[in-house]
Amino acid sequence: MDFLEDKELQRFFHGHKTDLSLMENPQTFLNRIRDYNLIPEDSYKKLSRMKSKENRKRHLYEFLTWFEEKHPDRISFFWKCVFQEPVLHCYPTLQRLYSRLLDGSFHFAAQFPEEVEKEETHGKKRKELSNDEVKQPSSVKKTSKKRRKTRGDDDDDDDDDDDDDDDDEEQPGPSSQQTPSQKKKPQKLCFSSPLKKGEKGELWTWPIYKTQLPVTCGGVAGMLRRDKLAQGERCILVKKQWFTPAEFEKFAGKESCRNWKVSIRCSDTCLGKLMKEGHLKAVSYKRRSIKAKRGLFPSSCSATDEEEETEDQSEQQPEGSQKVFPVTCGAAVGTLHPRRFASGNCGKSIRTEKSWLTPMEFTKQASCQTDASWRKDIKCEGEALSALIKAKILRIHSLLCKCKLCKQDTTALENQKNDDECCICKSGEEEEEEEDELVMCDHCPRSFHPKCHLPHVDASDLRDDRLWMCTFCVFTTNQECRYSEQLETEPVLSRQISANMLECQYLLLCLCSADEDQIFTKNPVISLDNYSAFIKTPMWLELIADGLQRSRYQTVGQFVSDVRLIFTNCATFNRDNAEFLTMGEQLNRLFDEEFKKAFNIQD
């Protein structure tokens, strides 16, 4: 509850003293607040000895009033104590109050203090209570009933009925019986877990967490709003400040993870697993276009205007525009990215293996005709591109549009030549902000985060007077001249890795790029329960990349052994999971093919 201020918790306490005093069998509740030194010993013994339920309710209310007046600074600590298991599980009233704090419905009582003052001024019915005062129980009940009616809370109607029953019994004693309404009260309130006593259920399935979930990232705790996550909004509240999942990850000091679905957890379970199992829904989080040609150098011009234009234009795009469509034009093949599309000659929206092209450029490259019609010549699943325009999946921008896609200046066109997301970690569309801007290859359409690329990209590598080439392009350029003769596997494995670092870096980047869901890239111990119980030596691509960067491998064989270990572990752990088993086998085959190609092996 760190996201709530002390004044809010005090006001909440003030309006729910009656609810607390009416709890059935409050002994466990009293034990808890005694354990935390929140109740004087004499008051605790006095309440514990009482056999009359009515007297105990009255004296408990008097104690809560005394506590509110004498120790307002300890009220927030009071709530933290009682909103813990097993006390929370014992009392439907506490579960109901806890749910109100989580879903924000307690804010309806914001005007309550003014109405109380009005009652005190005109009615003069309220008196200051202490532990020694035991008279006028009816006045206390009437005041509390008026407060509940003022809030207009339907959940308190049962409590009002109980108060009416209490008024009928002028002098209740130890042998007083519960009314039928009192006996049915626990059955009417269904705020507790539907599990049987002694059974354990997952926290995110509890009714009190229907709208929000407590989450942690590192040592920072927050509250996640399910609806905001599903809408792609800032959804995690920490100390009255809202964050997107990526921002929360960065705020918690875990930005190096670059995968909030793994780093943010609910009850030791990562959000990615909850999303996969259908407990949470999420959409892609758009990131601002802060990408620059030289990502590691501060730009002399402000990117604010371009950011706003990009965000404004993205709001105009329909939901289908976030998908990618395979397109063809004659023998040419590419993928169409609707969010990059502006018109036939604006917005390089078609990505081929070697470059980004506008629809007109793609058509001309395929047909070599200057008068070709891109609307009908470009096909998407057998349909002309005009069908996507008619379906409003593609939207042609106005001739007066000034967004970054429609700009024809050199800088805007230059920035459209590369991908908007990192080739390795795939973040870009998924994250709203990135600490490191993307670095673009000058020889291919790929983009990278400096620390995702192998080797890492330093500022000294990016100079305005020279072009930068990624490892993929360096490998392709030098492949033929490095190994003109065919080799065998065993001699290659015994080679020193220092002389073959380019090939190993290329191979690992191929695997990381192919692992689009980051399943084999991240530490499996973090995202998979009981993984360590089955796998004694976990291995993942990020760990191998770190080993290459820090020169921990001596031979090519050591590097290959760690890569093979990933797929061996996958086969062991996923014997009964055909989907992940197949994914591991496919990535293993890719490694075998690229390994033979990289070293020109013919076994």
Identical fold for domains 211-276 and 483-599, yes or no, is: no
Q: For residues 493 and 105, which has the higher predicted lDDT (pLDDT)?
A: 493
Answer yes or no: is pLDDT of 316 > 70: no
Cis geometry, peptide bond prior to residue 40 (ω within 30 degrees of 0):
no
**In the prediction, which pLDDT does 19 show?**
87
Contact 26, 56 (CB under 8 A): yes
**In the prediction, which pLDDT does 485 show?**
79
| pLDDT grade for 280, boundaries at 50, 70 and 90 | confident
| pLDDT grade for 106, boundaries at 50, 70 and 90 | low
Give the start-to-end residue ranges of the domains of the chain: 6-188, 211-276, 311-417, 483-599
Dihedral angle over CA of 244, 245, 251, 256, nearest 10: -130
Burial readout 144-172 (b: 16 or more C-beta within 10 A, e: otherwise): bbebbebbebebbebbeebbeebeeeeeb
Fold that domain 211-276 belongs to in CATH:
SAND domain (3.10.390)
| pLDDT grade for 507, boundaries at 50, 70 and 90 | very high
Please tell me the distance from the alpha carbon of residue 319 to that of residue 176, in angstroms, as a whole number.
64
Answer yes or no: is pLDDT of 298 > 90: no
Determine phi and psi for 223, rounding to 5 degrees. Answer: -120, 125
Residue 487 DSSP one-character state: B
**In the prediction, which pLDDT does 82 show?**
85
Answer yes or no: is pLDDT of 486 > 80: yes
**In the prediction, which pLDDT does 87 show?**
82
Query: Average pLDDT, stretch 258-270?
Result: 82
| pLDDT grade for 505, boundaries at 50, 70 and 90 | very high
Q: For residues 187 and 88, which has the higher predicted lDDT (pLDDT)?
A: 88
Query: Average pLDDT, stretch 405-432?
Result: 78
- Joined tokens for residue 299: 């730009």
Answer yes or no: is pLDDT of 506 > 60: yes
Residue 601 DSSP one-character state: B
**In the prediction, which pLDDT does 471 show?**
94
Please tell me the distance from the alpha carbon of residue 254 to that of residue 247, in angstroms, as a whole number.
10
Please tell me the distance from the alpha carbon of residue 231 to that of residue 235, in angstroms, as a whole number.
9
Q: Which long-range contacts (CB under 8 A, 24 or more apart) does 140-147 make?
A: 140/58, 140/61, 140/62, 141/18, 141/166, 141/167, 143/119, 144/17, 144/18, 144/61, 145/18, 146/119, 147/15, 147/18, 147/112, 147/116
Query: Average pLDDT, stretch 77-93?
Result: 84
Contact 94, 88 (CB under 8 A): yes
Dihedral angle over CA of 508, 514, 520, 521, nearest 10: 60
Answer yes or no: is pLDDT of 351 > 90: yes
Q: What is the pTM of this model?
A: 0.50
Q: How far is CA 191 from the centre of its chain?
A: 26
Domain 311-417 indexed as CATH 3.10.390.10 = yes
Residue carrying the six token digits 């801007």: 437
Pairing of strands 212-217, 325-329: unpaired
Residue 340 DSSP one-character state: G
Please tell me the distance from the alpha carbon of residue 297 to that of residue 301, in angstroms, as a whole number.
12
Query: Average pLDDT, stretch 449-454?
Result: 92
| pLDDT grade for 509, boundaries at 50, 70 and 90 | very high
Give the right CATH number for 483-599 from 3.40.50.1970, 3.40.50.1370, 1.20.920.10, 1.10.3720.10.
1.20.920.10
